[in-house]
């Protein structure tokens, strides 16, 4: 082991989180409607497969793009040979235009301010390397995406300090919670370099309100720190309230010529909005030219292939396609989310009201044997191994309250979702029956003890009466 690095031998990747362990159990016994109908249904994967037919249809109609041709002539050699790490100008322009379209064209983005990365994972880690030193801290509101423990910390050495949010106000960020997290970091002798939020939220499935965004801007202005807004779910908002980008707030407040303008950075990806996680297309958008220059150099360690850029530049430049895709995708997400919420309600389970994302934040606190994270893990294990549904426990998302779970709905078919809800309802019903039987047993024992005590007391009274005679 002495020949290996400390990074290789340490256990700080986070792979032992229940978030990842659930995936491992699914992979051992994956559900298939024909080949393995008793297998585990994957509801722990935030992947959008509901609209995959739309880009497939576009590819079938656009042979040149799919075949790496231009005007019928092959450009494979052009794409296959060396490309620098700045990215194809046509793709960067198409990507920033798509980002603006998602935001209702209320804001525009400069393609010279965007850095292409191999997914949002790479984008977030690159920003950590650009903004912080090993041992510095970023503040993150809870609950947050479990993968951040890996993405932000593992190779960078940056620390995460939680901003504790609770169900009392639907897990919204408050000024006291922000300040407490900042003070906690200082008590640990950590230098706070910024705040990172996901908007729309993973795992809550909600968009941040404008007053929350204003609060964040005020906070980072006062503390002179950075703000990273991870907006990879911005195109999944399927009902009101609509999505408000942090860039829109900056422009509405006319902050372009102020120091805070260069301390706000956006992370984006096509993994969620277009359902293309395997294409590994992410991006950093920053108004700080130094960050853009440094991140561009770092991107050479995780480039987006030229072939992928060429194909997607053609797809995203087709405004008829992007408009149709967004409209249909929103409708399909809303329909599938409604079916999940309805199925949960039939099982006697509620969830946080949501309007975005590929998941719901589900409240199973009433199913816990006690109000503890140990009880949450017991419940999670029963759901994975007995009910055979892989969902993510709130503790893996650093939720401060036991009993919440993230349940994904867009990576499975409508029929599979229906089966999952049937399994869950049967499980909840069995708990209710067991609880009722347990209560009836307790009542019968109590009744028996009462009768026994009464008989004993009566016998004692009778014996004393005989003695007194």
Three-state DSSP string of 343-402 = HHHHCCCEECCCCCCCEEEEECHHHCCCCCHHHHHHHHHHHHHHHCEECEEHHHHCCCCC
Catalytic pick among 92, 153, 193, 272: 272
The SS3 assignment for 336 reads helix
232 is annotated as an active-site residue: yes
Number of CB atoms found within 10 A of residue 219's CB: 18
User: Cα(295)–Cα(316) distance, rounded to whole angstroms?
Assistant: 24
Q: Are 409 and 43 in contact (CB under 8 A)?
A: yes
CB-based contacts of 294, cutoff 8 Å, min separation 6: 130
Find the angle CA(409)-CA(279)-CA(271) to the nearest 5 degrees.
Answer: 35
Residue whose C-alpha is closest to residue 51's, from 234, 223, 274? 274
Task: Give 184: exposed, middle or buried? Use CB within 10 Å, 0-12, 13-18, 19+.
Answer: middle
Catalytic pick among 41, 228, 232, 391: 232
State how far the alpha carbon of 348 is from the alpha carbons of 97, 253, 341, 342, in Å.
44, 44, 10, 10
Residue whose C-alpha is closest to residue 414's, from 330, 313, 340? 340
User: Cα(109)–Cα(248) distance, rounded to whole angstroms?
Assistant: 11
230 is annotated as an active-site residue: yes
447 is annotated as an active-site residue: no
Find the angle CA(458)-CA(462)-CA(466) to the nearest 5 degrees.
Answer: 170
Residue whose C-alpha is closest to residue 315's, from 102, 100, 61? 61
Catalytic pick among 19, 31, 145, 268: 145
19 is annotated as an active-site residue: no
State how far the alpha carbon of 319 is from the alpha carbons of 50, 244, 325, 326, 431, in Å.
21, 22, 10, 11, 51
Query: Which positions are catalytic?
Result: 145, 230, 232, 272
């Amino acid at each position: 082991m002495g020949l290996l690095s400390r990074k290789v031998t340490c256990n700080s990747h986070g792979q032992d989180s229940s978030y990842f362990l659930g995936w491992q159990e699914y992979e051992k016994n994956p559900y298939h409607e024909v080949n393995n109908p008793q297998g585990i249904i994957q509801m722990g994967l935030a992947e959008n497969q509901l609209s995959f037919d739309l880009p497939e249809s576009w590819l079938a109609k656009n042979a040149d793009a799919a075949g790496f041709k231009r005007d019928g002539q092959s450009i494979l050699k052009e794409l296959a040979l060396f490309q620098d790490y700045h990215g194809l100008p046509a793709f960067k322009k198409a990507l920033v235009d798509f980002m603006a379209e998602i935001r209702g064209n209320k804001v525009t983005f400069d393609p010279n301010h965007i850095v292409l990365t191999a997914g949002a994972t790479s984008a977030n880690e690159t920003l950590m390397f650009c903004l912080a030193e090993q041992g510095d801290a970023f503040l993150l509101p809870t609950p947050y995406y479990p993968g951040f423990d890996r993405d932000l910390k593992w190779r960078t050495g940056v620390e995460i300090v939680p901003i504790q949010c609770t169900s009392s106000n639907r897990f919204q960020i408050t000024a006291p919670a922000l300040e407490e997290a900042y003070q906690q970091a200082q008590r640990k002798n950590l230098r706070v370099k910024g705040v990172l939020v996901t908007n729309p939220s993973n795992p809550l499935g909600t968009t941040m309100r404008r007053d929350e965004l204003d609060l964040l801007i005020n906070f980072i202005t006062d503390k002179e720190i950075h703000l990273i807004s991870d907006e990879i779910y911005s195109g999944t908002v399927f009902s009101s309230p609509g999505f408000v980008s942090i860039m829109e707030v900056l422009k509405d407040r006319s902050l372009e010529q102020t120091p805070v303008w260069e301390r706000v950075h956006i992370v984006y990806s096509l993994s969620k909005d277009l359902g293309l996680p395997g294409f590994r297309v992410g991006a950093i958008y920053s108004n700080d030219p130094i960050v853009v220059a440094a991140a561009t150099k770092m991107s050479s360690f995780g480039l987006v292939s030229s072939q992928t850029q060429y194909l997607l530049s053609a797809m995203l430049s087709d405004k008829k396609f992007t408009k149709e895709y967004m409209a249909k995708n929103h409708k399909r997400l809303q329909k599938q989310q409604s079916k999940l919420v309805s199925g949960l309600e039939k099982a006697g389970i509620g969830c946080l009201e949501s309007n975005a994302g590929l998941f719901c934040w589900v409240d199973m606190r009433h199913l816990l044997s006690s109000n503890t994270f140990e009880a949450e893990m017991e419940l999670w294990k029963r759901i994975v191994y007995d009910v055979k549904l892989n969902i993510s426990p709130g503790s893996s998302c650093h939720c401060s309250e036991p009993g919440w779970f993230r349940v994904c709905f867009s990576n499975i078919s409508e029929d599979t979702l229906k089966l999952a809800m049937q399994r869950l309802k049967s499980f909840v019903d069995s708990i209710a029956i067991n609880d009722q039987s347990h209560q009836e047993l307790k009542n019968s024992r109590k009744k028996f003890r009462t009768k026994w005590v009464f008989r004993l007391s009566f016998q004692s009274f009778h014996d004393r009466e005989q003695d007194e005679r």
